[in-house]
Structure 1
Amino acid sequence: MGVFSFIRPALILGRCYRLHGRVSPRCSGSGIGRRFSAVTGQFVCYPLSHRALLEIHGQDTGSFLQGLITNDMRPLEDSERSAIYSHMLNVQGRTLYDIMLYSLKEADAFCGVLLECDSTVTDSILRHLKMYKIRRKVTINPCPKLSVWALLPGPSKPELLTPEKALVLKADPRTPKMGWRLVMNSDEDPEDVIASCQKGDIEEYHKHRYTIGLPEGVKDLPPGVALPLESNIVYMNGISFSKGCYIGQELTARTHHTGVVRKRLMPVRLTSSSAQNLEEGAPLRSQTGKPAGKHRSGLGTSGLGLVRTAHAKEALEVKSSDGSTVTLEASVPDWWPEDAKLN
């Protein structure tokens, strides 16, 4: 397993930082970018206009975020990792926001993060952060002039043509099947930054996510509704059970230590119709009529369903918006750990 270091100065909001990028991607195939499958090292770059960035910096950044997120900030501060995935929870232990954090360096010392989030909840996250900011030495600012890109497939590191333009280039911390994350100024073109790169359609990116069963954003993880363990946060490396207290920890820790998660967010394949014809939250039933979960979101014939694990291997049914019955099948993603159990 290769490890490389990628450290370079970057200008963000008028300050010069070093963005530290030590990553260890695991080799894993991707179902996307098939047109490049015959040529090693080629990538499809997807513009993630549904994602936005906030900058959080200051000497209290680490301790401030440590009490608000499910993951452990210390590896980012200690340079053990350069990017982490996490959730912010409400006091009842339900997911509010799914986020990614990228470490910022100044004079080789940790000084803050870039926070990637769903663009529709940027203002809500700002309010949430500022509510808990009292007397903390941190500054929080939106970064409207920066854009996020996904690079797929992801087994190997992209080659940079112009390294100074890549403010962030880090392996996606959730799974190698999601490739790489690239942050640039919004007026830059990834084809000028990444060698052997071609821009792709955002629908292809979302279909890839749904096919492999990876949730992202408030549509897949509705705020105040989704539960982190049911949303596979453990499998996506998004939680620490040894870090100490944070908002929403109690229910999450108690559920984890019982070892029982009776529902899982899973990829579902529709045998007819389209996921766009299904209402979010539409009930799933087994063919014998037993409650089997809820439809969450989707695109085309691929989607996500919160499925009762007892029925995960059965054919399921859901009513479409026109009243017709649609059959669908859930599957276990191959990026889940081998010992993942369907209770």
Structure 2
Amino acid sequence: MALRLLSCKLSNISICSSLQILGRSHEFLRNVRQLHCVHRTDRGLLQVRGVDASSFLQGLITNDMNHLKEGALSMYAMVLNAQGRVLHDVIIYNNQEEVSPLDAVENYIIEIELKHIDRLERHLKMYRLRKKIDISVVENKKCWVLYDPEIDFGSMRQVDLECLYLNPKVDSKHALELTTNPDNSIIVRDPRMPYLGHKLLLPVGYEPHECVQELTNGTEDSFTSFRYKLGVAEGSQELPLGDVMPLEANVDFLHGISFHKGCYIGQELTARVFHTGVVRKRYLPLVFSSAPTDLIPAETSIVNSKGKTVGRMRAHCGLYGVALLRVAECLADASNLLVAGLPVSTFRPAWWPIEAPKQT
């Protein structure tokens, strides 16, 4: 049965109460075990700076720039084409510059897949027109992630679905004990969900070990497999350019979209699906009984026990993968799926909202 998005009841739930729920879901990060440290060599950074930076980005992304103007440290969002399909998934960091106590320069850093940083730069400059902004590649910072690979899924606390659709400002203040606070750096919790750990933008030549004690060096593959275990897709391999709808990519569950902010490129189809449509397919994690020895191509069909195609492979690493699946059909037959002749299973991620969207 199709998953139908639940309408927001703005009169019944306040922004304050939803923020309290989100805050409680972050508490476990204060008592993490030894964190793994990974340099994200596949991620790049763009800077958008100037008096019109916020209003410029507001018309190009799914989330609400007012969160950052009001003090949020970071924010997840997607850049869509005119047809409402995903071009890029991004994380936007607040890098405000205080010129004086009463004045500040709007300055935002956009994290994006490195191989498409030039494409996003061209996309932004195409819409710049007469906006008073500068757009440039950030060369003096590198992207790092600190995460706990041994997360207990049973301990995950979920938010209420209606609270998500109110799009509250996510508290991404870091919970790390820093031995030093490096200049020209940004350290925040991942704004998508706390289980993805902490994001660090550090000066070139500076490493997390210099400001956080007792870190274990991890690999990019280990973090990718961990991300797949959570069912989180990112980058053009997993979110093919111009092919995926943002709600299929769980942008609503990952605090990456506002349904109240007004117009932006691609907004019309996204709003129509939210208000009147259904989301039959979403990205879900895949679990292999043993790691595949050969690469399974993206778009490989995933079939259920009746031999019916119920989704498409996107990517895999180690024991885990991520796929775009028909949610109701796959969860009803979650342990009996096949991809490229290999047995595979899926499950409903524990971080998905408490109240599932209503079925029709």
Q: Which range, TM-score by smaller chain?
A: 0.7 to 0.9
Tell me, yes or no, if structure 1 residue 237 matches structure 2 residue 255.
Answer: yes
Structure 1, 256-265 or 51-60: larger mean CA deviation = 256-265
User: Residue 77 of structure 1 aligns to which amino acid in structure 2?
Assistant: K
1:330 to 337, 346, 356: 346
Deviation at residue 197 of structure 1 after TM alignment: 2.3
Higher relative contact order (CA 8 A, sep 6+): 2
- Counting helix residues as a fraction of each chain, which structure ranks higher? 2
Structure 2: state its 5+ residue gaps: 1-21, 157-173
Amino acid at match of 1:74: N
The answer to whether the 8 A contact 2:50-2:134 is kept is yes
After TM superposition, the structure 1 = structure 2 runs for residues 1-343 of structure 1, keeping only pairs within 5 Å, are: 26-27=25-26, 40=32, 42-79=34-71, 81-107=72-98, 109=104, 111-153=106-148, 157-165=175-183, 167-258=185-276, 260-272=278-290, 274=292, 277-313=295-331, 314=333, 315-319=336-340, 325-341=341-357
Q: CA RMSD in A?
A: 2.3
Question: TM-score if structure 2 supplies the norm length?
Answer: 0.80
Percent of aligned pairs sharing the same letter: 35
Cα shift readout 1:169-220 (whole Å, capped 9, x = no counterpart): 1111000101111111121121112123232222111111011111121111
Alpha-carbon spacing, 1:141–1:24, altered in 2? closer, same or farther (3 Å) = farther
Report the CA distance shift for 1:306/1:59 in structure 2 as closer, same or farther (over 3 A): same
Partners of 1:41 and 1:158 within 8 A in 2: no
**1:298 offset after TM fit, Å?**
1.1
- Structure-2 change in CA distance of 1:214 and 1:204 (3 Å): same
Q: Amino acid of the residue matched to residue 174 of structure 1?
A: R
- The ranges of structure 1 where at least 4 consecutive aligned residues each deviate by more than 4 angstroms after the TM superposition are none
Aligned residue pairs, count = 308
Structure 1 gaps, min length 5: 1-22, 31-36, 320-324
Letter matched to residue 207 of structure 1:
S
8 Å contact from structure 1 (residues 275, 301) kept in 2 = no
Q: Tell me if structure 2 keeps the 8 A contact 1:57–1:113.
A: yes
Match of 1:14 in 2: none
Q: Secondary structure at the match of 2:249?
A: coil
Counterpart amino acid of residue 350 in structure 2: D
User: Displacement, 1:144?
Assistant: 2.3
**Structure 1, residues 124-166: CA drift from partner, whole Å, max 9, x if none?**
0000000000111010110122101111139971111220346
Name the structure where strand makes up a greater proportion of residues. Answer: 1
TM-score (norm 1): 0.84
Contact 1:266 1:330 in 2 (8 A): yes
